[in-house]
């Protein structure tokens, strides 16, 4: 994606960053922006072949070495080994971007036990695993920054009950750890993307027609780009984020403030009768014209 840079190319010089889920979509763009700002970037994902190919492609594209690691963020031993590998290669870990995750669109009543557990363990427990490993191995003694990629949790997200529960948990965890670990010099924040035109949308081909209509519910009347999100992460990672912790930075064009998109059918007997109970000692009021008593 070509766009005029807005940060100095040395803003993050000397910074070592680990981005989970860094080979595709938002994660890949975060890697591009961090590397462009001078950071040494490590990316991690579950499938070895896919992450190796992504690391090679990003290295060739950016003209710097992007390190790739295979790790399942649900597995604590693998996560500890991942952090150890980053420290072994680069000697430090200043920034962790918890972007790895996954979910599927489904009405709540259709989510299976296995589906629920998989989404919670990946998005919530996986974020905890990576954060705890980074803090135990480096940040607890040296400080650092953690940016968690979440989603719209404040206005509800019908069809994503499992994921919105996990992401809301991440946001609450972030606020709590920001207080507990402030004295360690660790800043933790979330970036909550709205409707972003990323490769992740391709996972829901059956709903792309519906998704394509959602831009009308965004006040700015467009989808966000992966660069919109990556710039927010870079800002938090750089000097601009020096006094920011425990926050959720929403990047959604104003969507959480406005708009309806989930169809709610009218129940039988709608609209309901308006039955206003009288106050104690008061005669029942006359029925206004047009209202059903």
Decide if 280 is inside a domain.
Answer: no
Decide if 284 is inside a domain.
Answer: no
Overall number of domains in the chain: 1
Decide if 170 is inside a domain.
Answer: yes
Residue located via tokens 């993307």: 193
Contact 32, 12 (CB under 8 A): no
Decide if 270 is inside a domain.
Answer: no
Question: Structure pTM?
Answer: 0.87
Q: Kindly compute the dihedral angle of the four CA atoms of residues 149, 153, 158, 160, in this order, to the nearest 10 degrees.
A: 30
Full domain range(s) for residue 237: 16-256
Distance between CA atoms of residues 215 and 211, nearest Å: 8
Q: What are the pLDDT digits (tens) for 202-213?
A: 665 555 566 667
- The DSSP symbol for 224 reads B
Mean pLDDT of the chain: 89
Q: What are the pLDDT digits (tens) for 257-289?
A: 887 767 778 888 877 776 666 778 777 666 655
Decide if 7 is inside a domain.
Answer: no
Decide if 74 is inside a domain.
Answer: yes
- The DSSP symbol for 198 reads S
Q: What are the pLDDT digits (tens) for 45-68?
A: 999 999 999 999 999 999 999 999
- CATH number, residue 194: 3.40.50.720
Decide if 82 is inside a domain.
Answer: yes
The dihedral region occupied by 14, where left means phi > 0, alpha psi between -120 and 50, and beta the remainder, is left
Distance between CA atoms of residues 5 and 231, nearest Å: 10
Kindly state the average pLDDT of the residues 112-137: 95
How would you classify the pairing of strands 16-20 and 40-45? Answer: parallel
Q: What are the pLDDT digits (tens) for 211-258?
A: 667 778 888 888 889 999 999 999 999 999 999 999 999 999 998 888
Decide if 267 is inside a domain.
Answer: no
């Amino acid at each position: 994606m070509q766009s005029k840079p807005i940060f100095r190319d040395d803003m993050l010089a000397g910074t070592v960053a680990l981005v989970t889920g860094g080979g595709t979509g938002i994660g890949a763009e975060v890697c591009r922006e961090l590397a462009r700002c001078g950071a040494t970037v490590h990316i991690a994902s579950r499938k070895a072949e896919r992450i190796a190919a992504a690391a090679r492609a990003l290295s060739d594209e950016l003209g710097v070495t992007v390190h790739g690691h295979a790790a399942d963020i649900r597995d604590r031993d693998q996560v500890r080994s991942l952090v150890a590998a980053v420290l072994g290669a680069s000697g430090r870990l200043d920034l962790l971007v918890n972007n790895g995750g996954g979910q599927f669109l489904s009405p709540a009543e259709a989510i299976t036990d296995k589906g629920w557990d998989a989404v919670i363990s990946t998005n919530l427990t996986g974020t905890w695993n990576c954060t705890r490993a980074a803090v135990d191995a480096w940040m607890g003694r040296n400080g650092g920054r953690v940016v968690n990629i979440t989603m719209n949790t404040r206005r509800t997200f019908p069809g994503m009950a499992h994921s919105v529960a996990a992401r809301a948990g991440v946001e609450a965890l972030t606020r709590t750890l920001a207080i507990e670990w402030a004295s360690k010099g660790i800043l933790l924040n979330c970036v909550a993307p709205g409707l972003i035109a990323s490769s992740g949308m391709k996972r829901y081909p059956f709903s792309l027609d519906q998704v394509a209509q959602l831009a009308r519910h965004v006040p700015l009347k467009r989808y966000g780009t992966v660069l919109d999100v990556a710039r927010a992460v870079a800002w938090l990672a750089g000097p601009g984020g020096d006094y920011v912790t425990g926050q959720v930075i929403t990047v959604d064009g104003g969507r959480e403030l406005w708009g309806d998109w989930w169809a709610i059918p009218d129940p039988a007997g709608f609209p309901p009768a308006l039955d206003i109970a009288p106050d104690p000692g008061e005669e029942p009021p006359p029925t206004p014209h047009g209202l059903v008593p």
